[in-house]
Structure 1
C-alpha cells in the first residue's frame, strides 16, 4: 500500500507536460525558487505553515496553480499527496485562499480525486485520503458559502464512501467536515437525520467502532444528532443492518441480538452524557427509548456467566445492558441537578410510570448477594430474608452491574417522596440496606449503597420506621449508616432493630 510519501520522479517530464500551462509551472517554480515540481511543492508546503507564508502565497495566486496541477496529475499519487498537503496548509485560516479554493472549483477537484481513489482502488493511500479530507475541513471553517459547496458536492453518497474508509485518521477529519457544515447550517442536522442521511451516520459509527477515533468531532456529532436532536431511536435500529451508499438496506437482522456497533454507540453516548451532564438535555422520548433497550437487554441475565471485567466487557449484549443502565443513571442525576424533582412531567417521573423502580428492585432481588453477604450465608445457610435459593440467583454479567442498579435507584430516590414510598411499597428497604457492603464484583458498591439508603430515608418517617422494625438477621446491621449520622441498635430480647441518631 502506498504510504503517501513523495518520491523523486522525472522532473523534466513533468515540466514538459503539455496539459499544464507553462505560466502555471513557472509561477510555482518562481514562488519556491526551485527547479523541479516535487521540490517546488515541498518548499511551498513549508512556506504555507505560517500565517505570513500563506498570505504571501495567496498574493501570488499559488492556490489556483496547485488546483490546475491536480487536475492534470490526478493519477500520480506522489503529486496528489504533495498538492493536498499544500492546499491543506494554504486553507488553514486564510480567507483569501479559502475563497480562491471555492472560486476555482476546488471542492469538485478534490472530491473527484477522493471518490476515484476510494471507489476504485483497493490499495489507495490512507494518507492521501486523510489529507484530501483535511483540505475540505479547513475550507469549511471559512463560513456558510464554503460549507454549502462541500455539502452539496458530497452529501450523501460522497460522505458514505469516505465514511467507509476504515481508519480513524480519515474518520476524524470527516466528522469535522460534517459537524462544521451542519453547525453552520443547523437545518442540515435535520437533513442528516433523514432517510438519505442515515447511511452516512451508520457508516461513521461502524468505522469508528472498528477503527477507533482520536478527536472529539465524533462525540460532538453524535451528541447533537442522538441526544440534542433526539434521533437515537432512529439511528440505533439502523445499526442492525448493512446500509449501502444509496440508502438501501439488507433487512436480514442478526437474530435479534445487539450488534457491536449498537453497543459502541451507547458507550459513546454514555461517555458524552457523563462528561456533559449539565449541558445536554435528554428528551422524554429518548429516555424511554433507552429504557426500552435496557428492558430488552436484560434477557442476557438468563444465560450470562459471572463477568470478569467491567465495561466494555467484549460482549455486545452485556455492553448494551451496562451502557443503557449507566445512561439511565445519568439521566436521573441530570434531572436532580436541574431541579425537576417537583415537575410532574420530568423524565424520571415518566420513567416511574413505566415501572422503572419496580423493575430495578426486581433485578437486584434476583442477583446473588454481594460477596460479603455470601460469606455470611455460608455460615448461616438457613438465614431468612436473604432472597431466593442460591440455585436460582444470577451473577453479575459485568463487574459493576449491581453497583449501577443501586446508583440508579439512589438517584431516583433523591428528594422524590414518591420514589422513596415506592421503594417501601415494593419491599425494597431491607434489600437496599444489604447493598451497603464491600463487594469484590462491584467496586464502590458500599459508597453507592450508602448514597441510596441516605436518599430513601431522608425526610421519610415511614421508611425510617420500617428500618426500626426490622428483625435482626445479620444483614440488617449496617455500620456504614454511621456516615449518615445514624446507628442501628438491636434489642436482644425482641431481636428487633431501632434506627437512632448517633448524637
Structure 2
C-alpha cells in the first residue's frame, strides 16, 4: 500500500465512510464543534489532510476543496490543530499548493477563498503563527492574490493581512513600505471592480489611512483610469482623478461618518485632503447641473464630493475644547489657516443661487426687462451646495476667528441665502440655519451686521425668524441688534 492509499484508509476509518469524498464531508461536519475539533486533534487528522494537499494532482477538484475546508474547520480556535499545522510546515504546503495549482490566476476562486480563511484561522492562534504566515506570504503571494478580481477573496485577504499586521510594529513597518502599499493599491483596484462585502477591507484601510497616517502615499499611488488607453480620440480627455481614488475616499468617508467623534484625524490627512479638493475643483465641469447624489459615476465629481463629505465630518468631530477655546493646532484651525473658509465662500459665491431664489430673480428680471446675469456654476451633484454650507457651519462652531473671517469675506448675507429649501440639495435649509447660528453665536459684530441688513431689507425677515431671532433698536445707542425671539 503506497502512502496516499494509507492516508485514504486512515481517513475512511476515522469517519466510518466508504469514499474519500464522504469521509471529508463527514469530518467537516464533526469539526464544526469545539468537541469535534478536539477529538480530531487527538486523532491527528491534520497530518493526514496535509499529506493530501501535498499531492493535489491525485485528488479531484472537489476533494481538494473539501480537504482545505476540513483544515479550515480544524484550525478554527483549536490550538492543538493550529500548532500541529505550523509544526508540519502547513503554511509552506499551502503556499506551494497555491503556486502549483494556479489559484491566483482565477482558476478556482472558491478554493482560494477557503485557503485564505484557513490562514486567517491559523493566524488568530498567536504571534508565532502570524509570523510564519507573514514570512511565507508577504509580499509576493499577497500581491498576487490581491490582483484576483473576486469579492470574497479580497475580503478574506484583507482579514489575513489585518490580523497579521495588527499589534506587530515590525510587520506594520514592513507593510507600510512600498511593497505593502502596492498590495493595498491592488486591493483597492480589485474592490473598485468587484466591490466588497465584509468589513475587513474597511478595517484595513482605517488602520493604514487613519491610524498609521499613510493616506497621501496610497492616494498618490492610485493612478487615474483612462477611458480608453492608447486611443488617439481620447488624448487629453482622461479624468484627472481615477475611479480607485474616488472609491478610497468614499470608503474613508463612510468610516469617518460611522465613527464620528471616535477618530482623531491628523493635520497632514486634513491638509492633503484640502489639496485634493482644490485640485479637483479646477477640473470638474460646473456647467451642467448634476441630478444624481454621490456616487455619480464621474471620478472627478465623486472625488470632489467625497472630499467635501470628509471635510464636513472632520470639522464636526474636531470641534474646539469648550474649556480651552484658545487651544491651537487642531485640524480645523490648520485648514482655516490654509484658506479653507475663503475657498469655500468663493465657491459658494460662484454658484448659482438656490432654486427658490433663482425663480424669484428670473421673475424680477422679466418684470424689469433687465439684462440676464452671466452664467454661474451649477451644482455638479445633488447635495453639493449643502456640503459647502455644512463645512462652513461646522468650522464656525465656537470659533470667533472663523466667524470674523466669514464676515470679512462678505459671506454672511451669502450664507443667509442658503437657509432655504432646495430640491437639488436635501437638508440645505437645516444646514443653513445651523451655520448661521454658529456664525452669530457670541459675535456682536456679526449680529450688528445682519441687523443692519434686515432694517435695510437686504434680507427677508423670515430668514432671521427661522433662526429664532428678531431685530430690535437699542434705546441708548439707536443701533439695531439681534435678540432671541
Question: When the two structures are superposed, what TM-score results if normalisation uses the length of structure 2?
Answer: 0.91
Inter-partner Cα distance in structure 2 for 1:218 and 1:319: 20
Where does 1:359-378 land on structure 2 (aligned, <5 Å)? 359-378=343-362
Aligned match of 2:138 in 155, 172, 182? 155
For structure 2, the residue ranges without an aligned partner over 5 or more in a row are 226-234, 474-478
Where does 1:294-333 land on structure 2 (aligned, <5 Å)? 294-333=277-316
Task: Note if contact 1:423-1:429 (Cα within 8 Å) is conserved in structure 2.
Answer: yes
Q: Please state whether the residue corresponding to 1:310 is helix, strand or coil.
A: coil
Aligned equivalent of 1:72? 55
Q: Please state whether the residue corresponding to 1:197 is helix, strand or coil.
A: helix
Inter-partner Cα distance in structure 2 for 1:382 and 1:228: 57
Inter-partner Cα distance in structure 1 for 2:412 and 2:480: 14
Inter-partner Cα distance in structure 2 for 1:331 and 1:188: 29
Task: Note if contact 1:373-1:475 (Cα within 8 Å) is conserved in structure 2.
Answer: no
Inter-partner Cα distance in structure 2 for 1:254 and 1:51: 59
Where does 1:329-408 land on structure 2 (aligned, <5 Å)? 329-336=312-319, 341-381=325-365, 390-408=373-391
Where does 1:176-195 land on structure 2 (aligned, <5 Å)? 176-195=159-178
Q: Please state whether the residue corresponding to 2:270 is helix, strand or coil.
A: helix
Aligned match of 1:126 in 109, 120, 134? 109
Aligned equivalent of 1:462? 445
Inter-partner Cα distance in structure 1 for 2:453 and 2:69: 73
Q: Please state whether the residue corresponding to 1:165 is helix, strand or coil.
A: coil
Inter-partner Cα distance in structure 1 for 2:147 and 2:461: 55
Inter-partner Cα distance in structure 1 for 2:374 and 2:243: 31
Where does 1:444-483 land on structure 2 (aligned, <5 Å)? 444-470=427-453, 476-477=459-460, 479=462, 481-483=464-466
Q: State the 1:61 CA deviation.
A: 0.1
Task: Note if contact 2:165-2:171 (Cα within 8 Å) is conserved in structure 1.
Answer: yes
Inter-partner Cα distance in structure 2 for 1:211 and 1:41: 32
Q: State the 1:184 CA deviation.
A: 3.3
Task: Note if contact 1:477-1:488 (Cα within 8 Å) is conserved in structure 2.
Answer: no
Q: How many residues align?
A: 468
Aligned equivalent of 1:292? 275
Q: Please state whether the residue corresponding to 1:381 is helix, strand or coil.
A: helix
Inter-partner Cα distance in structure 2 for 1:187 and 1:390: 62
Task: Note if contact 2:286-2:378 (Cα within 8 Å) is conserved in structure 1.
Answer: no
2:415 maps to 1:429 = no
Inter-partner Cα distance in structure 1 for 2:307 and 2:81: 46
Q: State the 1:419 CA deviation.
A: 0.2
Q: Deviations over 1:395-434 (max 9, x none)?
A: 1000000000000000010000000000000000000000
Q: State the 1:341 CA deviation.
A: 4.6
Aligned match of 1:116 in 100, 103, 107? 100
Aligned equivalent of 1:170? 153
Aligned match of 1:102 in 86, 90, 95? 86
2:55 maps to 1:88 = no
Aligned equivalent of 1:232? 215
Inter-partner Cα distance in structure 1 for 2:297 and 2:105: 33
Q: State the 1:33 CA deviation.
A: 0.4
Q: Please state whether the residue corresponding to 2:470 is helix, strand or coil.
A: strand
Inter-partner Cα distance in structure 1 for 2:316 and 2:34: 46
Inter-partner Cα distance in structure 2 for 1:135 and 1:120: 16
2:479 maps to 1:501 = no
Inter-partner Cα distance in structure 2 for 1:238 and 1:143: 33
Aligned match of 2:399 in 392, 416, 423? 416
Q: 1:120/1:55 Cα in 2 relative to 1: closer, same or farther (>3 Å)?
A: closer
Q: State the 1:383 CA deviation.
A: 11
Q: State the 1:437 CA deviation.
A: 0.1
Q: Please state whether the residue corresponding to 1:279 is helix, strand or coil.
A: coil
Q: 1:383/1:223 Cα in 2 relative to 1: closer, same or farther (>3 Å)?
A: farther
Q: Deviations over 1:305-349 (max 9, x none)?
A: 211111111111000000011111111111117658532211111
Q: Please state whether the residue corresponding to 1:391 is helix, strand or coil.
A: coil
Q: State the 1:471 CA deviation.
A: 5.9
Q: Deviations over 1:20-74 (max 9, x none)?
A: 251x333211110012111111110111111111110000000111000111125
For structure 1, the residue ranges without an aligned partner over 5 or more in a row are 1-15, 243-251, 491-496
Q: Deviations over 1:138-157 (max 9, x none)?
A: 11111111111111111011
2:242 maps to 1:259 = yes
Aligned equivalent of 2:228? none
Q: 1:269/1:475 Cα in 2 relative to 1: closer, same or farther (>3 Å)?
A: farther
Q: Please state whether the residue corresponding to 2:453 is helix, strand or coil.
A: coil
Task: Note if contact 1:403-1:445 (Cα within 8 Å) is conserved in structure 2.
Answer: yes
Inter-partner Cα distance in structure 2 for 1:338 and 1:182: 34
Q: State the 1:371 CA deviation.
A: 0.7
Q: Deviations over 1:232-262 (max 9, x none)?
A: 11000111079xxxxxxxxx99956100000
Inter-partner Cα distance in structure 2 for 1:267 and 1:338: 29
Task: Note if contact 1:19-1:72 (Cα within 8 Å) is conserved in structure 2.
Answer: no
Q: Please state whether the residue corresponding to 1:196 is helix, strand or coil.
A: helix
